[in-house]
Amino acid sequence: NAGVTQTPKFQVLKTGQSMTLQCAQDMNHEYMSWYRQDPGMGLRLIHYSVGAGITDQGEVPNGYNVSRSTTEDFPLRLLSAAPSQTSVYFCASSRDGYNEQFFGPGTRLTVL
Amino acid sequence: AQSVTQPDIHITVSEGASLELRCNYSYGATPYLFWYVQSPGQGLQLLLKYFSGDTLVQGIKGFEAEFKRSQSSFNLRKPSVHWSDAAEYFCAALMEYGNKLVFGAGTILRVKS
């Protein structure tokens, strides 16, 4: 089992560019989520999904889109990157929304 | 609003000394509670969790935590700290019918030899 994988590990964007952060899990988990981590603020939930075709907003959803077409994949899209989106992004998955979440290694994103 | 508070941003302890990291939550009911650890440049690893039952829970790496309903607290403890325990520790709570995990701001643990 690879667990939760994320690509890329590092990314630098210019303001206004778009990109997709990839997340995949091989544990057949129904629940997947995206967080951003900023110094002194812990992790904040961006979007989550309770199964294929079902997504919902978390605490800080503005500027981000998600979709869930398969159980395994949960990509995060930045349509027009802004410097405020400079952060470390973590994807996580869980059997359901009540259990332990398994985290990926993270993507460090810098927006210039 | 539901929230998780970790009052200590940094803590420094000597190797072999005991450790207690504080966590308080604000929520009308008892949430599910977790402690995660993050080593530099890494993802998060679950140390332990509390759902219900015995209020003293044991985790990995010799950590334990005690849930105190009267104080809305879930403090993490270890009797003897090792240099490899240096990391950032996050308390988290699941509220509102699950699905939305709320994290504290984290406590950075430094271990001096």
The 10 Å CB-count burial string (b at 16+, else e) for B100-109 is: bbbbbbbbeb
Cβ of A45 within 8 Å of Cβ of B100? The answer is yes
- Tell me how crowded residue B2 is: count the other CB atoms within 10 A of its CB: 15
Token pair 């129904």 is found at A30
Residue B11: predicted pLDDT? 97
Residues 6+ apart with CB under 8 A from A66: A34, A46, A47, A49, A55, A74, A75, A76, A77
> Which residues of B fall within a CB distance of 8 Å from A44?
103
Distance CA A87, CA A95 (A): 26
CA distance A104 to chain B (A): 6
Give tens-digit pLDDT for B59-103: 999 999 999 999 999 999 999 999 999 999 999 999 766 678 899
Tell me how far apart the alpha carbons of residues A68 and A63 are, in angstroms, rounded to a whole number. 17
pLDDT in tens, B3-43: 999 999 999 999 999 999 999 999 878 789 999 999 988 88
